[in-house]
Amino acid sequence: METAVYSTAGQELRKIELDDAVFGLDINEDVLWYAINNELANKRVGTACTKDRGEVHGSNAKPYKQKGTGRARRGDKKSPLLVGGGTVFGPKPRDFSYKMPKMEKRLAIKTALSLKAHTDTLKVIEDFDVENGKTKNLFEILNNFGSRERTVIVLNDNEKDRERISLLKRAGRNIPWLSFLSSSRLRVHDLFYGRRVFIMETAVNEISEFYAIHQSRRSTVGEAQA
């Protein structure tokens, strides 16, 4: 698949080839659904906690006698039926996270990238930096590509560019509709719901190389088993 590389001014510079094994797959809606729900479940804190009648602080004494008052029979003041009493079947701290098979996770990421490539919401941008980490400079670059929509920028993961990437993230900290992803840590949820996905040119190469390696390993294992 061929696509254009854009400058920070929004002008087309050249054409590059995108790996069809990563950016040209058929859309698998099922694996996207599973991956997005997996990421949302893993983000849940799970700290909600309520007290049942055995944990509520209060007296265990019977509030009034059993018979002769015309009122309901009460054993103590911590009954769930009374104000300030315990909660019935309330939430307790728990871990909502679960693991998703690696192959399915990788397939979901490639499917999300392919979806964005097919709908022309994915653009490859030349590597750039933001001087002194100024939000104003990054905002001007984003304005060259259209309206203010939910935007995702995929950065390269290179030790040599750590300082440049740090300044770039600092510049985008005050832009509420902008988020950053690393080429080695992609999230299906952000890619799927991003109205615009910008990938740096070096990040495209890193993504293609990573998934091409695992694809070739899978093919080799399949041939060996056959």
From first CA to last CA, the distance across the chain in angstroms is 30
pLDDT of residue 24 exceeding 60, the answer is: yes
Report which of residues 37 and 214 the model is more confident about. 37
**Regarding beta strands 151-155 and 12-17, do their DSSP bridges make them parallel or antiparallel, or are they unpaired?**
unpaired
Read off the pTM: 0.81
Q: What average pLDDT score do residues 192-197 get?
A: 93
Distance CA 17, CA 213 (A): 17
pLDDT of residue 162 exceeding 90, the answer is: no
Q: Quick one: pLDDT at residue 219?
A: 46
How large a percentage of the chain has pLDDT more than 70? 94
pLDDT of residue 157 exceeding 50, the answer is: yes
pLDDT of residue 220 exceeding 80, the answer is: no
User: Per-domain residue ranges for the chain?
Assistant: 2-38+101-225
Q: Under CATH, what is the fold of the domain 2-38+101-225?
A: Ribosomal Protein L4; Chain: A; (3.40.1370)
Backbone φ/ψ region at 211: left (φ over 0), alpha (ψ -120 to 50), beta: alpha
How large a percentage of the chain has pLDDT more than 90? 57
